[in-house]
Amino acid sequence: MLFSSTTNSTLWDVWLYYENETHYLFYLANSRPDRPWDGIGLATSSDGVHFDDHGMIITKASDAEYLGAGHTWKVGDKYVFNFSESRNGTLEIFFAESEDLIHWNRIPAEQSVSRSNSEWYADTTEISQQRWDNIWANTDASGDGYFGYVTAVAKDGPVGLRGTCASVTSKDGIVFTTGAPVIEPGSWPDRLEIGGVTKVGDQYYMFAALAEVPLGLDWAKHHSQAVGGVYVMRSDTQEGPFELDTRQPPVLVSSLGHHTYFARFYPCGDELLVAHHSLESRGFIATVMPKMGTWMAPLKKAEIDEGILSLHWWAGNEAMLGRDLPRVTDLVEARLAQSLTPNADGSFTFEAPLYSHAMLPFRYDFEKGVCIEATLRGSAYDNRAFAAGVLLEGDESWNGTAIVLDSTGKFEMGHTNGYSFWDEEGLNTAPLRAEGSRFRVLVRGTFVEVYIDDALIQCFALDKIPHGRLGFVAAAGTVTVSDVRVRELSM
């Protein structure tokens, strides 16, 4: 799935609801690029990949300044979602209902509106406007009613570190009562945004996002030039406190401008999936209008191992993969290789005392989109860490975007001119495996996603669409490239 609205200027925060073997995608939309968000759009899909856009289903009231995203749940025989509206700088949360998930009507404000409570939450701070945004409603742990989570700013706490999550409760799923915070102030900046909460086993997991990383919060940076990320907190109870496990890395990250933002949980049948949007062009998203173009990114599968949540390739995404494209490897051209050896099994091996690029003789349609898969394994040339990866060639030969992983687990993406390499994004992950690591790279236009052994490593927005060849990278070692497969995207 790489969905972009055909009926609105762009989409932003997304969330999904699964019912009757249909994926219902709700997205924050604006009708014009020069104004803030003014509606909620809807798209539907039978496979979670190919979506039909139904356009806006709710628009902001005429007296509201803008509208914010929400969440969808079921109440009896009806469905409900919430959305925020701002008036005179104050956010309040309103509700809509539907009998079929397609046609929606506002619930009158006199029947239901959720407001902040000054006992716990601030109107404004020096670095944040008032926030009361996005009820994420779950069935209460007691089994009676609903327990929800709301983005808010604490009234009390250390200056600048009052980012929190409010609690709300409801007996009927429509009228909510505001309660105490579930995140203790003192750890997160005022502009923290809550993406949702889900229960897995005996524990509750929360997505919390930062669109900016301020001074004094270096621990939150995955990269020296990080501009934000989506973090995962955990609690033993629905009431919190939710805290960050020091072993838990962020699940989405951006450096030198934003590539992606704001993950949401998506329970889908027996699977726990995750949805988020990605940007067509890298840019700074906080308080900037108009927003750049966006995609609803491919759905991810959430996996939890010893309390640590990670994102992975979802098997349903195979529906986006079309016909196989040519990929013969006996005509590979290498640069700066000490040796290049085609192997009888269709693989090839090249040795790079410094670095080398080995290019396939094809130019794929990266604008339409391809999925690149290859297994890379290698060994060190000397006592240096060795690296292997993929090269998306740009307009000039041997130039482009290099995607590399080394033997210590250092992953990097950035531009190469055929000699120098500029690290634009990077993080620490599992190192190259001795038996080989399976790379999967999705490219459509400027949109890139990288998976290694089916674990999501990075979402990335290229500066421009690549138009050159597909290549592979070796650095300080000998690398064997095998089982290359290139498929076009059926989007």
Residue with tokens 């009820």: 135
Cis check: omega of the bond before 298, within 30 degrees of 0: no
Distance (Å, whole) CA 247 – CA 261: 21
382: confidence class by pLDDT, cuts 50, 70, 90: very high
Distance (Å, whole) CA 431 – CA 40: 42
Distance (Å, whole) CA 165 – CA 130: 13
Average pLDDT over residues 128-135: 94
Q: What percent of the chain lies above the pLDDT cut of 90?
A: 86
Residue 198 has pLDDT above 90, yes or no: yes
377 CA to centre of own chain: 28
pLDDT for the residue 85: 97
DSSP 433: P
Residue 321 has pLDDT above 90, yes or no: yes
Q: What percent of the chain lies above the pLDDT cut of 70?
A: 98
Distance (Å, whole) CA 59 – CA 21: 27
pLDDT for the residue 16: 98
- Taken in order of first residue, the domains within the chain and their CATH numbers are 10-319 (2.115.10.20), 325-489 (2.60.120.560)
Mean pLDDT (the chain) is 94
367: confidence class by pLDDT, cuts 50, 70, 90: very high
Residue 34 has pLDDT above 80, yes or no: no
Average pLDDT over residues 416-423: 92
286: confidence class by pLDDT, cuts 50, 70, 90: low
Distance (Å, whole) CA 376 – CA 231: 30
466 CA to centre of own chain: 22
Residue 187 has pLDDT above 90, yes or no: yes
- Higher pLDDT residue, 217 or 1? 217
Average pLDDT over residues 307-331: 94
Both structure tokens of 90 = 């104050």
289: confidence class by pLDDT, cuts 50, 70, 90: low
Residue 404 has pLDDT above 70, yes or no: yes
Average pLDDT over residues 466-476: 97
DSSP 292: P
Residue 33 has pLDDT above 80, yes or no: no
Judged by DSSP in three states, 218 sits in helix
Residues facing residue 277 across a β-bridge: 261, 296
Instruction: Please name which of 445, 468, 443, 448 lies closest in space to residue 458, comparing C-alpha atoms.
Output: 448
Residue with tokens 């009390």: 156
pLDDT for the residue 150: 98
According to the per-residue pLDDT averaged within each range, which of 34-38, 195-199, 289-293 is highest?
Answer: 195-199
